[in-house]
Amino acid sequence: MPSAEPVVQLRCYCKNDGWGKKGHDSMAARLCAKTPGTDFKIEDDKHYSEMWMGTYPTTPSYVISTGETLQEYLKKYPELLGKKVRDKFEGELPYLPKILSMSKALPLQVHPDRKMAQQLHARDPKKFGDTNHKPEIAVALGPFELFAGWKPLTDLTRLFANKPLQRFLPPGEDKFHDGTLKQVARNILEAPENVVEQTIADVIKLPDDAFESKYRYIPSLLQRVCEQYSPTDNGTLLAVLCMNFFQLNAGDSVYVPADGIHAYLSGDIVECMARSDNVLNTGFCPRAERDSVEVFCEALSFWPHEPDEAFLGKHPADKAKHGKTLEYAPPISEFNMLATHLKAGEKESIQPIDGPTVMVVTGGAGKMHAANKTLDISEGYVYFVGHGVGLDFEACPQELHVFMAYAE
């Protein structure tokens, strides 16, 4: 058997969910279409939502030089994962990077933890295709709006003192704790459509002084999300009233734990998650596509409870020689992410990583020196880099932006 090439270029594909951006407005589609040799073509009347870069079987990446899926290539050459990663994750690439482009809210969702994922997979393996958990990070590539985690309990206590919202409180309770919040979430999600529609209308009519200054956005955001889906969508009430609403800029990032409630609203992002596609949806989607409220509420955790707790910090990467690379390090073992940003003429060196890397060029052009080869790289190029390979980047003739997910 010939020896493995440790650095291989990947061909990826883009999904067509209705919440994606249309045609060339979608960064996911634009990047996907720029891979050399791809047969992917952008149609301006189609929505493009997610470009996947990894081994998950529903939307696999392909090794351009061999025509194999990346999964097949790594099964043939498992040494590319490195012994530690191969042993710990049973021979699998443990993460799944994506580019997401959103024109409206994704379904309101949680990803079940490992225990629940195993139960759901045993019950319905077609819908829940694996037994893994799915913590994830999202790094903004520009303006990015989302819902993630819960408003502070004291804020919810004051907010739900407004008469139109008192109908969702458990009998005899007016101060929020996690048990109250869980019951309020269930009551909102189980409310009849006419109650949802009337409540939204009533909240929109409340005077400004019904809301703390930081929540004055609630009426207008209710109207905006209603226009995207329906004034009877239960998820609109739960997200806008109970969840933290964020407006982030390029480079900002959030961490969503496996059982954390979230819904991305607009923008372009690099996302990375543990290798799973399990999800429970209960809003911002047709009623027929919603999962059981009981199961959804069972899966919920009640972290984060403060807006700052949802943010994922970044720091200069120890693995980078010239200080042009940032690292995002979520509190999980499946992956970290590096982001290298170079101006024209600048260089960066990334030391060999004790595990596999998947990298995507999100902007600009330059050269990459790796495994005794010099490769021209530009926007839309995606590579798998095997264990123990160092990378040298040079931005020319313009700037260069590269994101790298890796495991060690």
DSSP letters along 282-327, please? -SSS-GGGPPPHHHHHHH------SHHHHB--EEE-TTBSSS-EEE
CA–CA–CA angle 311, 316, 319 (5° rounding) = 120
Parallel, antiparallel or unpaired: strands 391-406 and 347-350: antiparallel
Residue 304 preceded by cis peptide, ω within 30:
yes
CB atoms within 10 A of CB 26: 28
Residue 404 CB-half CA count within 13 A = 30
| Residue ranges covered by each domain of the chain | 105-310, 314-406
**Predicted local confidence at residue 226, as pLDDT:** 95
Tokens of 331: 């509190």
**Predicted local confidence at residue 111, as pLDDT:** 93
Residue 217 sits at φ, ψ, to 5 deg, of -70, -15
Spatial neighbors of 207 by CB under 8 A, at least 6 apart, are none
3-state DSSP assignment of residue 27: helix
Q: Which fold has domain 105-310?
A: Jelly Rolls (2.60.120)
**Whole-angstrom Cα distance, residue 237 to residue 247?**
19
Tokens of 107: 């379904």
Picking from 406, 308, 304, 299, the residue whose alpha carbon sits closest to that of residue 352 is: 406
**Whole-angstrom Cα distance, residue 260 to residue 149?**
6
**Partners of 368 in the beta sheet?**
375, 393
Tokens of 122: 């045993």
**Whole-angstrom Cα distance, residue 403 to residue 250?**
13
**Predicted local confidence at residue 378, as pLDDT:** 97
Picking from 395, 408, 297, the residue whose alpha carbon sits closest to that of residue 352 is: 408
Sign of the Cα pseudo-torsion (295, 289, 145, 313, in order) = positive
3-state DSSP assignment of residue 359: strand
Residue ranges of E strands in 227-295: 243-248, 253-256, 262-274, 280-281
**Predicted local confidence at residue 288, as pLDDT:** 86
Residue 54 · residue 89 · CB < 8 Å:
no
Q: What is the pLDDT along the chain (408 residues), one digit of tens a residue?
A: 567 999 999 999 999 999 999 999 999 999 999 998 888 999 999 999 999 999 999 999 999 999 999 999 999 999 999 999 999 999 999 999 999 999 999 999 999 999 999 999 999 998 999 999 999 999 999 999 999 999 999 999 999 999 999 999 999 998 999 999 999 999 999 999 999 999 999 999 999 999 999 999 999 999 999 999 999 999 999 999 999 999 999 999 999 999 999 999 999 999 999 999 999 999 998 888 999 999 999 999 888 888 899 999 999 999 999 999 999 999 999 999 999 999 999 999 999 999 999 999 999 999 999 999 999 999 999 999 999 999 999 999 999 999 999 999
Picking from 38, 51, 44, the residue whose alpha carbon sits closest to that of residue 24 is: 44
**Whole-angstrom Cα distance, residue 97 to residue 270?**
7
- Out of 2.60.120.10, 3.30.420.10, 3.30.360.30, 3.40.50.300, the CATH code matching 314-406 is 2.60.120.10
**Predicted local confidence at residue 176, as pLDDT:** 96
**Whole-angstrom Cα distance, residue 224 to residue 3?**
55
**Predicted local confidence at residue 2, as pLDDT:** 66
Q: Do 105-310 and 314-406 come out as alike in CATH topology?
A: yes
Picking from 301, 13, 324, the residue whose alpha carbon sits closest to that of residue 178 is: 301
DSSP state of 254: E
